[in-house]
Amino acid sequence: MLNLLYKSSYVFVLFYYAIIPLGYLTKWWVTIEKMKGNSTILVTGGGGYVGSHTVVELLKNNYTVIALDNMINCYSGNEKPESLKRVEQITGETVTFYNVDIRDREALDKIFKTHKIDSVIHFAALKAVGESVKIPLTYYQNNVGGSATLLEVMAKNGVKSIVFSSSATVYGNPQFLPITEDHPTGQGCTNPYGKTKFFVEEIMKDVCTSDPEWKVILLRYFNPVGAHDSGMIGEDPSGIPNNLMPYISQVAVGRREKLQVFGGDYETPDGTGVRDYIHITDLAIGHLKALEKIFQCDFRSWKAYNLGTGRGYSVLEMVKAFSEASGKQIKYEITCRREGDISACYADASLAKKELNWTATRDVKDMCKDTWNWQNKNPKGFQKS
């Protein structure tokens, strides 16, 4: 009898320490899959470059998407941005869209009261480094003030989960390379745009400290490039591009005579600025991985992750790679440095690989190939030729 009781106790202990943890793991996984199938995600800046590509990935993974954008940097397709119309064509799904500015508290509140929103992915922001130096107050009002308003409305409506599209600019002039997440932030930010991202990060950290129910993931990424492999959506800046790749592609397609390279005297191998470029689809998937992380039962407070390839490319290396991908010669001239720029910046993204199960899978050839596919099919961007 004693021997039987001993064996029964042994079986119970084995069950407790082996089966029960497996049950928790299963419960966690089922929770993630359930959230993926039934969650409604508000995407601010959903009509923009990164936003629209992320909406594609959300819809592919069975999320319901509510997108809002003030249309400042979107080509209008009447009732919604042309980018989101094409997203609907790519996915076969419908995107509910609101032409709303994140500073409009009343309009935001109405959206939250109309839809049962589970989490937010926050892209909406002005984003041009050079422009931010010229009109800093506009950037602070929009990026910082708008984000604070969004957080207030979220709290009012009981939605305390957000993935924030931050930036590597929060690291300022790098103290070491590659940059890890424990690199100091806010020290020596070289432009108001970067400062707005830093300030919003600090606001979100303070919100988490004040209320333990909040869950925040800060995604610090570098230079998104490329386009959806369908060639239906891509980067289409209004006016003169502030970013390198759309400028190169517009030169290749004949919209611009030549590329202006800002600075040829940096302490880099060829004198031009070095950046960590990341394919837009990899970046969009990174936002989904962050969303899955934030839905985990044991996730609390805030966490920052770098998204990048860990490999820096100079401006002239990107020009060469694009020429090879497109078969076009890219004319360029080297001019003076642009205020607010730094010489080199690239990431260590090993933490995202470890904790988000994410890694960039597309290389510079894919970035250039997909950019050219988009631009060649759409010489005038989202405008009809």
Instruction: For residues 194 and 196, give the distance between their C-alpha atoms in angstroms, rounded to a whole number.
Output: 5
Query: 39: number of CA atoms within 13 Å, CB side?
Result: 24
Distances (CA, A) of 365 to 210, 324, 369: 45, 9, 6
Pick from 169, 211, 174, 183: which is nearest to 302 by CA? 211
Q: Which 3-state string (H, E, C) describes the chain?
A: CHHHHHHHHHHHHHHHHHHHHHHHHHHHHHHHHHHHHHCEEEEECCCCHHHHHHHHHHHHCCCEEEEEECCCCCCEECCEEHHHHHHHHHHCCCCEEEECCCCCHHHHHHHHHHCCCCEEEECCCCCCHHHHHHCHHHHHHHHHHHHHHHHHHHHHCCCCEEEEECCHHHHCCCCCCCECCCCCCCCCCCCHHHHHHHHHHHHHHHHHHHCCCCEEEEEEECEEECCCCCCCCCCCCCCCCCCHHHHHHHHHCCCCCCEEEECCCCCCCCCCCEECEEEHHHHHHHHHHHHHHHCCCCCCEEEEEEECCCCCEEHHHHHHHHHHHHCCCCCEEEECCCCCCCCEECECCHHHHHHCCCCCCCCHHHHHHHHHHHHHHCCCCCCCC
User: Which position among 49, 63, 193, 266 bears the catalytic label?
Assistant: 193
pLDDT of residue 385: 46
Q: How far is Cα 327 from Cα 171, in angstroms, rounded to an integer?
A: 36
pLDDT by residue for the chain (385 residues), tens digit each?
Answer: 545 444 455 444 444 444 444 444 444 444 444 455 579 999 999 999 999 999 999 999 999 999 999 998 888 867 899 999 999 999 999 999 999 999 999 999 999 999 999 999 999 999 888 899 999 999 999 999 999 999 999 999 999 999 999 999 999 989 999 999 999 999 989 899 999 999 999 999 999 999 999 999 999 998 999 999 999 999 998 778 888 999 999 999 999 999 999 999 999 999 999 999 999 999 999 999 999 999 999 999 999 999 999 999 999 999 999 999 999 999 999 999 988 788 999 999 999 999 999 999 999 999 999 999 999 999 999 986 4
Please give the angle made by the CA atoms of 63, 354 and 213, to the nearest 5 degrees: 55
Give me the pLDDT at residue 242, please. 80
pLDDT digits (tens, 9 = 90+) for 97-132: 999 999 999 999 999 999 999 999 999 999 888 899
Q: pLDDT for 170-207, tens place per residue?
A: 999 899 999 999 999 999 898 999 999 999 999 999 99
Contact between 360 and 308 (Cβ < 8 Å): yes
Structure tokens at 319: 């020009």
Contacts of 336 (CB under 8 A, 6+ apart): 262, 263
CB 119 within 8 A of CB 161: yes
Locus of tokens 């997909």: 370
Tokens of 86: 């094409």
pLDDT for the residue 79: 84
pLDDT of residue 34: 44
pLDDT at 38: 77
What per-residue confidence (pLDDT) applies to 241? 83
Domains with residue ranges and CATH for the chain:
15-377 (3.40.50.720)
193 catalytically annotated:
yes
